[in-house]
Amino acid sequence: MTVPAFELSDLTVRYGPVTAVDGVSAGSAPGLVTALLGPNGAGKSSLLRVLSTIAPPSSGTARVFGHDTRAEPLAARTRIGLVFQERALDTDLSAEQNLRFHARLFGVGRARAREDILVLLERFGLAGRGRDRVETLSGGLARRLEIARALLHRPGLLILDEPTNGLDPEARQTVWDDLIRLRSELGVTVLYSTHYMDEAELADQIIILSEGRVAGFGSPGRLKSELRSSRIVLVTHDDDTALARLAEAGFDAVIDSDGVAVRCREPESRMAEVIRAAGPLVRAASVHHPSMNDVFLAHTAANRDREAADGTVSCP
Ligand SMILES: Nc1ncnc2c1ncn2[C@@H]1O[C@H](COP(=O)(O)OP(=O)(O)OP(=O)(O)O)[C@@H](O)[C@H]1O
Determine, yes or no, domain membership for 1: no
Q: Which long-range contacts (CB under 8 A, 24 or more apart) does 137-144 make?
A: 137/95, 138/171, 139/166, 139/167, 139/168, 139/171, 140/167, 140/168, 140/170, 140/171, 140/172, 140/174, 140/175, 142/87, 142/89, 143/83, 143/167, 143/171, 143/175, 144/174, 144/175, 144/178
Query: Are 101 and 146 spatial neighbours (Cβ–Cβ below 8 Å)?
Result: no
Q: Quote the crossing angle between the two packed helices 169-186 and 139-151, to the nearest 10°.
A: 20
Query: Are 79 and 4 spatial neighbours (Cβ–Cβ below 8 Å)?
Result: no
**191 and 258: one domain?**
no
194: domain range?
6-223
42 pocket-lining for ligand 1 (C-beta < 6 Å): yes
Of 223, 243, 273, the last residue of a domain is: 223
DSSP 3-state of 22: strand
Closest-CA residue to 192 (of 296, 85, 294, 88): 85
52 pocket-lining for ligand 1 (C-beta < 6 Å): no
Whichever domain contains 250, its CATH number is 3.30.70
Closest-CA residue to 84 (of 49, 120, 40, 135): 49
ipTM: 0.97
How open is the CA angle 54-56-61, to the nearest 5 degrees?
Answer: 115
Give percent of the chain with pLDDT exceeding 90.
Answer: 69
**143 and 52: one domain?**
yes
Integer Cα distance of 62 and 50 in angstroms: 7
Of 156, 191, 223, the last residue of a domain is: 223
Residue-by-residue DSSP string for 266-279 = SHHHHHHHHHHHHG
First-to-last alpha carbon distance for the chain, in angstroms, is 43
DSSP 3-state of 98: helix
Is residue 267's pLDDT more than 70? yes
DSSP 3-state of 283: strand
45 pocket-lining for ligand 1 (C-beta < 6 Å): yes
**62 and 165: one domain?**
yes
Question: pLDDT band at 152, cuts 50/70/90?
Answer: very high
Of 223, 255, 279, the last residue of a domain is: 223
**55 and 127: one domain?**
yes
Question: pLDDT band at 315, cuts 50/70/90?
Answer: low
**272 and 123: one domain?**
no
Tell me what the mean pLDDT of segment 200-208 comes to. 94
**214 and 236: one domain?**
no
Calculate how far, in angstroms, residue 45's C-alpha sits from the geometric centre of ligand 1.
Answer: 7
Determine, yes or no, domain membership for 315: no
Query: Are 141 and 165 spatial neighbours (Cβ–Cβ below 8 Å)?
Result: no
Integer Cα distance of 197 and 110 in angstroms: 41
257 pocket-lining for ligand 1 (C-beta < 6 Å): no
Q: What is the 3-state secondary structure (H, E, C) of 147-182?
A: HHHHHCCCCCEEEEECCCCCCCHHHHHHHHHHHHHH
Phi, psi of 121 (to 5 degrees): -60, -40
**What is the pLDDT at residue 301?**
53
**What is the pLDDT at residue 295?**
85
pLDDT tens by residue, 268-296: 889 999 999 999 999 999 998 888 888 88
**103 and 67: one domain?**
yes
pLDDT tens by residue, 29-51: 999 999 999 988 999 999 999 99
Determine, yes or no, domain membership for 202: yes
Distances 15 to 21, 23, 56 between C-alpha atoms, Å: 10, 14, 11
Calculate how far, in angstroms, residue 21's C-alpha sits from the geometric centre of ligand 1.
Answer: 9
Calculate how far, in angstroms, residue 158's C-alpha sits from the geometric centre of ligand 1.
Answer: 21
Strands 213-218 and 205-210: antiparallel
Tally of domains within the chain: 2
* Average of per-residue pLDDT values in the chain: 90
Calculate how far, in angstroms, residue 237's C-alpha sits from the geometric centre of ligand 1.
Answer: 53
Least confident stretch, 1-5, 161-165, 218-222, 295-299:
295-299
Tell me what the mean pLDDT of segment 169-185 comes to. 86
Is residue 150's pLDDT more than 50? yes
20 pocket-lining for ligand 1 (C-beta < 6 Å): yes
Query: Are 144 and 99 spatial neighbours (Cβ–Cβ below 8 Å)?
Result: no
**134 and 249: one domain?**
no
Tell me what the mean pLDDT of segment 63-67 comes to. 98
